[in-house]
């Protein structure tokens, strides 16, 4: 029987589906190393328990230690809420923010830090992208939800002011969104293209010239492809990360509908800026983070901090 990793992940209207997707992505890499992964409840035979939940706190990890003493514990650290200087709280932590502080993880035997550990699906590896001089298609994506309603607000403004008349507006409707407002708008805005439950997201992204995105894993997917982008945080907790990514990439990070519209209008007319954003994105992420995480889990490295 092969060694296994159990992933505990959450998905709801507040945190969307990115947690489940990235856990499945890592699980998909494990067979390449002779291991297997599953989502759900731990069994007594799992070598690792990998937690991907905003509800997990220090007490939660202590309970896991007590209930599954033979398993090692791993976690994503997205929000910085947990004190990982506490010895033996977890055995491995992943933080793929642009510039995480290694000192925060002094109690963790192994820390995988930086954008090179962003766990992306295979379709985002080794893809070529060319920046065109003219913008023909703009991608709008916010993940599974759009809590602030920025996509509909932007589309309404574009229609009302007759902006960018030659540009197709490729809008991804999240799995937890209501499709009907978009369908109503599409009847009045023929160049609005609606997508939902997309199975080949990389191909859709590569067909566009500019993307407007939330600050989840989609941001790293766009970087790996080299697509120029504008960041519109989809929730309050995303804002700090979005600003860090914006600073790293030199990309606009906006928090209002008006600022979003201005950034979009500016970039559509500036191919040099779009080319710079494309190059910076490629430098930030190569799409192989899930492979690196799977390797770290299966090799059970000794105490170390592994940088990007």
- Hey, where are the domains in the chain? 4-120+288-306, 123-284
pLDDT of residue 80: 83
Which spans in 189-288 are helix H?
A: 201-206, 217-225, 239-249, 257-268, 271-284
Pairing of strands 110-113, 72-76: unpaired
Residues 225 and 243: their CA atoms lie apart, in Å, by: 20
Residues 192 and 198: their CA atoms lie apart, in Å, by: 16
pLDDT of residue 301: 41
Q: Are 179 and 165 in contact (CB under 8 A)?
A: no
**54-57 own/partner pairs: CB under 8 Å, 24+ apart:** 54/10, 54/15, 54/78, 54/79, 54/81, 55/10, 56/82, 57/81, 57/82
pLDDT of residue 18: 77
pTM, full prediction = 0.89
On whether the 123-284 domain is CATH 3.40.50.2000, my answer is yes
Residues 112 and 307: their CA atoms lie apart, in Å, by: 6
Q: Which CATH number fits domain 4-120+288-306: 3.30.70.260, 3.40.50.150, 3.40.50.11190, 3.50.50.60?
A: 3.40.50.11190
pLDDT tens-digit readout, 200-257: 999 999 999 999 999 888 999 999 999 999 999 877 778 888 999 999 999 999 999 9
Residues 6 or more apart whose CB falls under 8 angstroms from that of 185 comprise: 152, 155, 156, 159, 192
pLDDT of residue 54: 87
Residues of the chain whose pLDDT is less than 50? 13-14, 301-306, 308
pLDDT of residue 304: 41
User: Matching CATH topology for 4-120+288-306 and 123-284?
Assistant: yes
């Amino acid at each position: 029987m092969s060694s296994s990793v159990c992933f505990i992940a959450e998905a709801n209207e507040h945190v969307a589906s990115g947690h489940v997707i990235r856990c499945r992505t890592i699980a998909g890499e494990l067979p390449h190393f002779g291991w297997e992964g599953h989502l759900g409840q731990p069994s007594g035979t799992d070598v690792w328990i990998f937690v991907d939940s905003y509800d997990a706190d220090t007490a939660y990890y202590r309970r896991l230690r007590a209930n599954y003493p033979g398993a090692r514990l791993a976690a994503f650290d997205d929000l910085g809420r947990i004190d990982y200087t506490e010895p033996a709280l977890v055995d491995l932590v992943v933080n793929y923010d642009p510039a995480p502080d290694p000192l925060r993880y002094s109690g963790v035997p192994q820390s995988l830090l930086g954008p090179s550990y962003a766990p992306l699906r295979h379709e985002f590896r080794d893809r070529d992208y060319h920046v065109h001089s003219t913008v023909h298609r703009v991608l709008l994506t916010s993940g599974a939800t759009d809590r602030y309603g920025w996509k509909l607000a932007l589309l309404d403004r574009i229609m009302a002011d007759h902006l960018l008349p030659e540009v197709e507006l490729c809008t991804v409707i999240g799995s937890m969104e209501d499709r009907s407002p978009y369908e109503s708008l599409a009847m009045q805005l023929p160049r609005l293209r609606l997508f939902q439950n997309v199975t080949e997201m990389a191909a859709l992204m590569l067909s566009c010239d500019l993307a407007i995105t939330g600050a989840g894993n989609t941001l790293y997917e766009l970087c790996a492809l080299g697509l120029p982008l504008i960041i519109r945080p989809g929730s309050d907790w995303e804002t700090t990360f979005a600003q860090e990514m914006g600073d790293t990439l030199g990309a606009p990070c906006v928090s209002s509908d008006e600022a979003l519209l201005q950034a979009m209008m500016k970039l559509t007319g500036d191919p040099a800026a779009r080319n710079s954003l494309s190059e910076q994105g490629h430098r930030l992420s190569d799409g192989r983070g899930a492979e690196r995480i799977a390797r770290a889990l299966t090799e059970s490295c000794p105490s170390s901090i592994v940088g990007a």
